[in-house]
Amino acid sequence: MATVAAVIASTHHPFYYRASTSAGPDRPPFADEWVAKIEAFRQTLTRAEPDVLVMVGSDHFHQLWLDNMPQFLVGKAPFFDANWYNEEREFGLPRMRLAGDEDLAAYLLREGLDAGFDLAFSNELRIDHSVTCPIITLRPQADLPIVPVYTNIFAPPMPRPSRFMELGRALRRMVEAWPSDKRVAIIGTGHLSLELGGPRQFGPHGPDPEFDRKAVAWIANGDVDGCLAEVTLDSLHAPGNATHGFMDFMLMMGAAGDGVKADYTDSLDLFHTMEAYFTWYPSPAGKGASS
């Protein structure tokens, strides 16, 4: 059976690429600290020695649109082109191409459907910064095949937070039962409190530092019950109008396991939003590789 080599949850800040590659007067004052944190975070994936990456993210109205909107979608294709014109324009992100693992994608689709998740699929998916940002931060050589798993955190009606957690648990179970000798890292990105296009956007911190503090503790401690007790589709409007992206963190809490503390936790208070990085090593092999 396959090994879950690491479970990783992260914010996906589209400005990291530009901040980390800029020099001279264009380089923001926080760039060096940010790069140092990212390089330390990257080591947590490197030492897990993965063969394939399951990448949980959310299309930002690029290929998935309101005329045909899936709630959960698995990309099954030999390749995924990546990043879009408006992401080059706004964030300076490069065009990329990642290989896909069609065997694992097909397996997750079959097993997911049988487990009660009516997963949509795409055989030609251009992925966006929710997947490419963690490639840039965690695996910049972009040399591993991926299976993208898209969630709808963007266009109501959305699945409830508990459903995200259930899908995370199912992904973990399915990967562990995958008849393969590969080492799989499950990586997902979302947001803490975030406001886009409203009065609380682009402040000196995230729009709700208290929510961010609680959210980091829920994730770091694997506090599924505490998180579910406070987080609902309605409650997520209060910390910021784009905070439903936190549900992808909840999916990753499901993948990491109830009550399982993260082996690595870090955060960075930036303008506009707080960055947060978490890694779990579920398997003894992963733990061994980390020490």
Partner 1 sequence: MSKYLLDKFLYTVDRDPELVERYRSDPGGTVEWWERDMANTLLNCHAAEKSTWLAFGEEERRALREHDYVALFGMGAHPFLTLTLFIAMFERDHGPLEYQIAYARAMDHITLPYPDIAT
List residues binding partner 1 (CB under 8 A): 60-62, 65-68, 84-86, 89-90, 154-157, 196-203, 237-238, 241-242, 271
Shortest distance, position 243 Cβ to partner 1, whole Å: 12
Shortest distance, position 2 Cβ to partner 1, whole Å: 35
Residue 53 or 247: the one with the smaller Cβ distance to partner 1 is 247
Residue 156 or 284: the one with the smaller Cβ distance to partner 1 is 156
**Ordered DSSP codes for the chain:** --EEEEEEEEE--TTHHHHHH--GGGS-TTHHHHHHHHHHHHHHHHTT--SEEEEEE---SSS--TTS--SEEEE-SSEEEE--HHHHHHH-PPPEEEEB-HHHHHHHHHHHHHTT---EEESS--B-HHHHHHHHHH-TT--S-EEEEEE-SSSSS---HHHHHHHHHHHHHHHHH-SS--EEEEEEEE-SS--SSSTTTT-SS-S-HHHHHHHHHHHHHT-HHHHHHH--TTGGGTT-TTGGGHHHHHHHHHHH-TTPPPSEEEEEE-SSSEEEEEEE--SHHHHHHH-
Shortest distance, position 62 Cβ to partner 1, whole Å: 8
Shortest distance, position 85 Cβ to partner 1, whole Å: 6
Residue 139 or 244: the one with the smaller Cβ distance to partner 1 is 244
Residue 124 or 258: the one with the smaller Cβ distance to partner 1 is 124
Shortest distance, position 204 Cβ to partner 1, whole Å: 10
Residue 163 or 169: the one with the smaller Cβ distance to partner 1 is 163
Shortest distance, position 69 Cβ to partner 1, whole Å: 9
Residue 94 or 198: the one with the smaller Cβ distance to partner 1 is 198
